[in-house]
């Protein structure tokens, strides 16, 4: 078997991360050119360790096909059981890419996820750099939100669970944007990157595209547009501009997916956004609800909050999307927050300004997407 030895620089970077975990100062490491994130504000410090290849091989029964639980664009994920009985998920990077790129992907994810600690963000258990590159996570026994919503063999999730998941993901995203000392932009918020624990707590996972946004920057420009069609914010796919609002947009699409059980882009290339926008505009919230749910099996107030929040998140102009704190307040907050978000009367006039951003919306699919897409009066009566 060919053994993969990561380049010297990679090992050094990994060690740097490990040392920071142990409270050592980064400055003491000569030639360290990597900008590593500081620990988040969480009082609980994450703990992770390096595994030997033999350990993860044994835990996954030699990466047995029966243990394969998921496959994404970059990796295969296997269920494993450690000797102490703990269940783990071993993420083996598989994307066919130059070795240097693979190592970069690995370090991006490790460098981000090793420093986050929140109940709604997946927890790193460790990594392995022997015979490949592996990340080891706590195992989420209910798989991904995508399989819960779209697997035809599964029962459609009941309303209460959908609401719990929506609020949980919002809390996780708020933590990434505002709770960490440095802002983390996830860049790939979608249903298959939300995992569900044994008690269906949602956890944001897959930090392969995540980026750190230094406090003095409002945004950054991505060289390559990566992400998933159907969830991409307009300023990102047209100009490569990334900031927290890129995630807010994707979260708005995810809310619609949770409500409706429809995929962001279905097999016939129909877009969830184009279907939902007219309904949001008319306030026809009941029509957004997954047709597999029995009539009246949802909470009207919660539906209203979810629909209204999504209508704000999917606005074309990033500046007019709410922050995740505001979204969370809308989803789970009191009456006052709803009042605060009433679209102002003059908003219609603003839409007609026809500035540069409006021109981005020539695509059919995104027609009218920055209009006040949610009608409060009609929603209240639905
Ligand atoms: N910790 C975990 N527990 C259970 N299943 C997981 C876990 N991590 C990932 N998976 C499964 O593997 C899939 C791919 O994982 P992901 O990290 O998103 O890989 P990629 O970076 O290739 O997209 C997920 O959608 C999910 O179904
Ligand atoms: Mg993924």
Q: Is 139 in the pocket of ligand 1 (CB under 6 A)?
A: yes
- Dihedral of CA 213/219/221/225: which sign? positive
What is the DSSP secondary structure assignment for residue 283, as one 8-state letter?
Answer: T
Q: Is 73 in the pocket of ligand 1 (CB under 6 A)?
A: yes
Distance separating alpha carbons of residues 360 and 371, to the nearest angstrom: 14
Asked if pLDDT for residue 15 goes beyond 90, the answer is no
Residue 220 C-alpha from the chain's centroid: 18
Confirm whether 84 is a catalytic residue: no
pLDDT of residue 118: 95
Q: Which ligand ends up closest to the CA of 209?
A: 1
Q: Compare 256 and 6 and report the one with higher pLDDT.
A: 256
Q: Is 339 exposed, middle or buried (0-12, 13-18, 19+ CB in 10 A)?
A: exposed
Distance 109 CA to ligand 2 centre (A): 11
Q: Is 91 in the pocket of ligand 1 (CB under 6 A)?
A: yes
Asked if pLDDT for residue 129 goes beyond 50, the answer is yes
Strand (E) positions, the chain? 49-50, 68-71, 75-81, 87-93, 124-128, 134-138, 183-185, 194-196, 202-204, 211-213, 220-221, 241-242
Q: Which of 95-109, 139-153, 207-221, 343-357 has the highest mean pLDDT?
A: 139-153
Distance 72 CA to ligand 1 centre (A): 7
Domain residue ranges in the chain:
8-12+34-138, 145-381
Q: DSSP letter string over 166-229?
A: HHHHHHHHHIIIIISSSEEE-S--SGGGEEE-TT--EEE---TT-EEE-TT-S-EE-SS--S-T
Q: Which residue's alpha carbon is nearest to atom 12 within ligand 1?
A: 70
Asked if pLDDT for residue 36 goes beyond 90, the answer is no
> What is the average pLDDT across 54-71?
97
pTM of the model: 0.83
Interval 164-185: pLDDT, tens? 999 999 999 999 999 987 889 9
Q: Is 134 in the pocket of ligand 1 (CB under 6 A)?
A: no
Question: Which of ligand 1's atoms lies nearest the C-alpha of 73?
Answer: 22
CATH topology of domain 145-381: Transferase(Phosphotransferase); domain 1 (1.10.510)
How does residue 238 score in pLDDT terms, banded at 50, 70 and 90?
A: confident
Give the residue among 196, 212, 194, 191 at the shortest CA–CA distance from 204.
194
Question: Which of ligand 1's atoms lies nearest the C-alpha of 70?
Answer: 12
How does residue 324 score in pLDDT terms, banded at 50, 70 and 90?
A: very high
Which CATH number is associated with domain 8-12+34-138?
A: 3.30.200.20
Q: Which ligand ends up closest to the CA of 105?
A: 1
Q: Which ligand ends up closest to the CA of 87?
A: 1
CB 227 within 8 A of CB 238: no
Interval 191-232: pLDDT, tens? 999 999 999 999 999 998 888 877 767 777 776 778 888 999
- Name residues whose C-beta falls within 8 Å of residue 17's C-beta, 6 or more positions apart in sequence: 36, 110, 111, 114
Distance separating alpha carbons of residues 314 and 277, to the nearest angstrom: 9
> What is the average pLDDT across 303-316?
95
How does residue 300 score in pLDDT terms, banded at 50, 70 and 90?
A: very high
Query: What tokens appear for 300 in the block?
Result: 């009207």
Q: Compare 197 and 34 and report the one with higher pLDDT.
A: 197
Across 30-39, 133-142, 263-272, least confident range = 30-39
Classified as helix, coil or strand, 78 is: strand
Question: Which of ligand 1's atoms lies nearest the C-alpha of 147?
Answer: 27
Q: Is 59 in the pocket of ligand 1 (CB under 6 A)?
A: no
How does residue 95 score in pLDDT terms, banded at 50, 70 and 90?
A: confident
pLDDT of residue 377: 41
CB 232 within 8 A of CB 149: no
How does residue 46 score in pLDDT terms, banded at 50, 70 and 90?
A: low
Residue from 205, 207, 231 whose mutation best tests the ligand 1 pocket (most atoms within 8 A of CB): 205
Distance 209 CA to ligand 2 centre (A): 9
Distance 72 CA to ligand 2 centre (A): 5
Asked if pLDDT for residue 277 goes beyond 60, the answer is yes
Asked if pLDDT for residue 16 goes beyond 60, the answer is no
Q: Is 197 in the pocket of ligand 1 (CB under 6 A)?
A: no
Q: Do the annotations mark residue 300 as ligand-binding? A: no
What percentage of the chain has pLDDT greater than the value 90?
A: 56
Q: Is 80 exposed, middle or buried (0-12, 13-18, 19+ CB in 10 A)?
A: buried
Query: What tokens appear for 97 in the block?
Result: 């890419």
> What is the average pLDDT across 326-330?
95
**Catalytic choice (188, 243, 247, 329):** 188
Distance separating alpha carbons of residues 286 and 252, to the nearest angstrom: 17
């Amino acid at each position: 078997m060919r053994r993969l030895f990561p380049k010297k620089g990679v090992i050094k970077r990994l060690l740097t991360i490990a040392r920071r975990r142990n409270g050592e100062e980064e400055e003491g490491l000569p030639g360290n050119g990597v900008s590593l994130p500081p620990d988040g504000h969480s009082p609980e410090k994450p703990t992770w360790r390096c595994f030997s290849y033999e350990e993860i091989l044994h835990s996954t029964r030699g990466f047995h096909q029966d243990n394969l639980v998921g496959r994404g664009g970059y990796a295969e994920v296997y269920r494993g059981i450690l000797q102490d009985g703990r269940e783990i998920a071993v993420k083996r990077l598989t994307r066919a890419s130059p070795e240097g790129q693979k190592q970069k992907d690995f370090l991006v994810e490790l460098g981000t996820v090793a420093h986050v600690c929140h109940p709604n963000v997946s927890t790193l258990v460790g990594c392995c750099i022997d015979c490949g590159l592996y990340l080891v996570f706590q195992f989420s026994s209910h798989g991904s939100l995508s399989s819960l919503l779209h697997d035809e063999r599964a029962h459609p999730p009941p309303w209460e669970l959908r609401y719990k998941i929506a609020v949980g993901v919002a809390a996780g995203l708020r933590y990434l944007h505002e709770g960490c000392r440095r802002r983390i932009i996830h860049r790939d918020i979608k249903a298959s990157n939300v995992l569900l624990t044994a008690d269906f707590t949602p956890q944001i996972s897959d930090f392969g595209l995540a980026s750190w946004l230094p406090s003095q920057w409002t945004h950054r420009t991505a060289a390559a547009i990566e992400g998933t069609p159907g969830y991409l914010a307009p300023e990102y796919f047209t100009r490569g501009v990334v900031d927290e609002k890129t995630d807010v947009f994707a979260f708005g699409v995810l809310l619609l997916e949770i409500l409706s059980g429809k995929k962001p882009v279905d097999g016939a290339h129909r877009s969830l956004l184009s279907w939902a926008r007219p309904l949001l505009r008319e306030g026809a919230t009941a029509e957004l609800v997954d047709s597999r749910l029995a009539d009246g099996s949802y909470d009207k107030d919660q539906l209203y909050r979810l629909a209204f929040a999504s209508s704000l998140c999917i606005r074309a102009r990033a500046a007019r999307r709410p922050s995740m704190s505001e979204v969370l307040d809308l989803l789970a907050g009191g009456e006052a927050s709803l009042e605060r978000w009433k679209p102002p009367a003059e908003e219609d006039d603003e839409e007609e300004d026809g500035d540069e951003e409006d021109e981005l919306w020539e695509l059919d699919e995104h027609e009218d997407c920055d209009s006040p897409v949610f009608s409060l009066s009609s929603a209240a009566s639905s």
